[in-house]
Amino acid sequence: MEAVSIIGPAWICGLALCAVLGDAFLPFLPSGTLVILAVLRTSHFNGAPLLLALGVALASFLGDLALLSLARKGAPMVHRRLEHRPKLAASVERVQAHLSGKTSRAAAPLVIIARFVPAGRTVLDLAMGHSPEHPRTFLRWSALAAVVWAAYIVTLGWLNSHWFNTAWLSFAVSCAAATAISSAVAQVVRRRRRLATAV
């Protein structure tokens, strides 16, 4: 944490927002970790957590919008990615099949849950980008999902910054909790998918 303290809070917040924006395209980016770090570095400023949460929600939504637009326009980059990653393509097809015929209200939980699953956001954006349905409803739920995830990850970092006296312990506990929650959600999604295919 000493090396990190050299970097100003503004730089860390900027890196976190860029990672949140970009992890729609590159799911391996440590966006959640960087947001938690930004929260810990700015929690002593009045109103900083709220401003950071708003920035994270906006960056998350804009990332969805950008990938969705590229997918709908048939960008070669998107096609190449699906061609060279059959597992990703299969996941996109599964999500499309699951969403087809669903009402707006029925699709909402999937859009929100996808935000908490590793690479779930990418799969969902690509699925909707290749769907013949109009994306307006999806974007509405995507905005809600962005707000929910931003509130969750910022609150997690903020609470741990007040529960523990040392920054490194707050950081470690926050990251461990976020990883555990994402893993638990992913396990539930996989279990439900196995049950659905077994029926």
Residue 63 is encoded by which pair of tokens? 């990332």
Tell me if the pTM is above 0.85.
no
Using DSSP's 3-state secondary structure scheme, residue 43 falls into: coil
The letter for the amino acid at 102 is: K
Q: What is the pLDDT of residues 107-149, one digit of tens each?
A: 778 888 888 888 888 888 888 887 767 677 788 889 999 999 9
Domain boundaries, the chain: 2-198
61 Cβ contact partners less than 8 Å away, ≥ 6 residues apart: 139, 142, 143, 146
CA distance 161 to 35: 13
Nearest to 37 by CA among 183, 185, 158: 158
Average pLDDT over the chain reads 81
**CB contact burial 109-124 (16+ within 10 A = b; e otherwise):** ebbbbbbbbebbbbbb
